[in-house]
Amino acid sequence: MHDHLEPAPVDLPTPAASLIPHRPPVRLVEELLAVDTDGGMTATVIREDTPFLSPDGSLDRSLYLELIAQTFAAVNGWGRLGHARPPRSGYLVGATGVTCNGTARIGDRLTVIIRPVGTFGAFRITEGVVEARDRKLATGRLKIWLTPLGKTTPGTRSIPAAPSEFTGPALAQAIESAAVAPCGTTADSAFHRSFCFRPDFMAFQGHFPGNPLVPAFIQVRLAQTILESSGYPPLKLRRIESAKFREPLRPGQTFRAVCRPEEVGHRVKTTVTLTIAEKNAATFQLAFGRAET
């Protein structure tokens, strides 16, 4: 991914498919609408066959994180089209203050706007806004690490094709089926559960071809699964206070998730830690509210 915008030999708007490494069913952004020195904008429409819908036809809120990240990737891909070298790979390594103010539903046209905030060596900080119906559905700041110029990400073997149909209930079921044991309780009353995503897990098809990784939004969504399976009522994500993705999670790896929830007013705040063989892989500070009946 690039650190500044360059002229590209294409007109806008243009399909995002050729600009980003994501593939279906994980690819969400459809069009790159605009690019300037201050960032860019993408668009997508929520349809009945859009992946990651909840039973009521709403988009799972963890996907706002992915929409902002994919918009960064699209702007980056556009900016490097005029160069004779491939784009630099980029990975989401952190997020702060991602606030979910509304819900996207079938029929909504979402626009995602990003603006650069800072550059620190190989790291890029960008702010993103997800909008629909003249309303800000989500805002937040992402931290993305770019591979050094000339370096490539080691690939892995191909993953067998997975069914293209993937709806909200299937998302919850897929996460549940990746659990290797029921939820347990630690000595300090935290909830814990271990997961292992098989190589044929649908997200590995598009995130990323040849280098499959468990997406950040799946990692965040695990916390809701753990809380709801531990007795909490149906929840919806309100805010990602902070998130740090330290180690990639790959097919066949078993990792442990620990949630330490605290009820604050009408919200449930929780600290989440993901570990692989006692090594910290990710940490989150999340806030949930009760889902509407």
So what's the pLDDT on residue 89?
Answer: 74
CB atoms within 10 A of CB 168: 18
Q: What is the pLDDT of residue 68?
A: 98
Listed residue (291, 292, 286, 232) closest to 257, CA to CA: 286
Please name which of 161, 138, 261, 147 lies closest in space to residue 209, comparing C-alpha atoms.
161
Q: What is the mean pLDDT of the chain?
A: 87
Can you say whether the dihedral through the CA atoms of 32, 52, 213, 215 is positive or negative? positive
Whether 169 shows a pLDDT value over 70: the answer reads no
Which has more pLDDT, 163 or 239?
Answer: 239
Percentage with pLDDT > 90 across the chain: 67
What's the rounded Cα separation, in Å, for the pair 287 and 20? 30
pLDDT value for 88: 67
Give residue 23's pLDDT band: very low, low, confident or very high (50, 70, 90): very high
Q: 123-146: per-residue pLDDT in tens?
A: 999 999 999 998 999 999 999 998
CATH number of 14-146: 3.10.129.10
Give the total residue count for the chain.
293
Q: Tell me, which fold does domain 168-290 have in CATH?
A: Thiol Ester Dehydrase; Chain A (3.10.129)
Read off the pTM.
0.89
What pLDDT is stored for residue 150 in this prediction? 56
And the tokens for 34? 């605009």
Residue 10's pLDDT is 61
Q: What is the pLDDT of residue 73?
A: 93
Q: Which class for 90: exposed (0-12), middle (13-18), buried (19 or more C-beta within 10 A)?
A: buried
* Residue type, position 159, single letter: I
Each domain of the chain, given as residue ranges in start order, spans 14-146, 168-290
Q: Is the pLDDT of residue 266 over 80?
A: yes
Per-residue pLDDT, averaged over 255-278, amounts to 95
- Beta-bridge partner residues of 237: 288
pLDDT tier, 292 (very low <50, low <70, confident <90, very high otherwise): low
The tens digit of pLDDT for each residue in 27-62 reads 999 999 999 888 999 999 999 988 888 888 899 999
Q: Which pair of structure tokens corresponds to residue 183?
A: 């939820």
Whether residue 257 has pLDDT greater than 70: yes
